[in-house]
Chains A and B, each alone.
Chain A
Amino acid sequence: ILNVEQSPQSLHVQEGDSTNFTCSFPSSNFYALHWYRWETAKSPEALFVMTLNGDEKKKGRISATLNTKEGYSYLYIKGSQPEDSATYLCAPRGADTGGFKTIFGAGTRLFVKA
């Protein structure tokens, strides 16, 4: 896993808007994809872990899909709220010599205006 790209880099939405972000990654040698949420002045917090099976995950208003064949994942937020403002990190985890390595994307910074 060499390069993880997330888009957009930042996003400004109004409260109530629905939004989505993209994570793309090389699909070879990868075992799972993690999404994390990182609020300012806090630690990154795990949202989802998605496996090779292309499963779809949902947690409240947030959901994620994974396409392992084409190497991308989408994160959706329905009805954004100000408390959703954070940086959303995508992190594919793959096999490397001796174990697993997690490569983080640069993140999508979401700003939700009340």
Chain B
Amino acid sequence: KAGVTQTPRYLIKTRGQQVTLSCSPISGHRSVSWYQQTPGQGLQFLFEYFSETQRNKGNFPGRFSGRQFSNSRSEMNVSTLELGDSALYLCASSQGSSGSGGTDTQYFGPGTRLTVL
């Protein structure tokens, strides 16, 4: 079974631009979560999508948005980039059944390294 894929792997943008990152989950997985990692910080939760609906959201400004398509692929968009948005962005997929009681294992992609100049 193919793993979680993310594109692009590396990206360089300038302040004020916008960026779209893509995540393809493991086949059959319906939940996709996005995380940001900056130096010295743990993984910060951005949002989770399940069946094309945002199911949960972290404490990030509205410049960060996402969506999920009917095939479970997800995109994350950051508008008006700031220097502080430079980070590794990871997505993780899981089966996402709410009945799992939180025991759903998340499988992570390789990440997209975003640098904002």
Contacts and interface: CB of A to CB of B under 8 A. Distances in A.
Interface of A: 4, 30-32, 34, 36, 42-46, 49, 51, 89, 91, 93-107
Given A44-B90, A99-B56, A32 B98 contact: no
B101 A51 contact: yes
**B contacts with A: majority SS:** loop
B109 A43 contact: yes
A114 B66 CA distance: 44
Given A31-B101, A43-B111, A89-B43, 12 more contacts: A31-B103, A36-B108, A43-B108, A46-B106, A51-B103, A89-B42, A99-B55, A101-B45, A102-B33, A103-B45, A104-B43, A106-B42
Nearest to A52: B101
Nearest to B58: A101
A106 B37 CA distance: 10
A100 B102 contact: yes
B43 to A, nearest CB: 4
B105 interface: yes
B75 interface: no
Which of B42, B45, B55, B110 has the most chain A CB atoms inside 10 A of its CB?
A: B42
Nearest to A45: B108
23 contacts: A30-B102, A32-B101, A34-B105, A42-B110, A43-B3, A43-B4, A43-B108, A43-B111, A45-B108, A51-B103, A89-B43, A93-B104, A94-B102, A98-B55, A98-B56, A99-B48, A100-B48, A100-B102, A101-B58, A102-B106, A104-B44, A106-B40, A106-B42
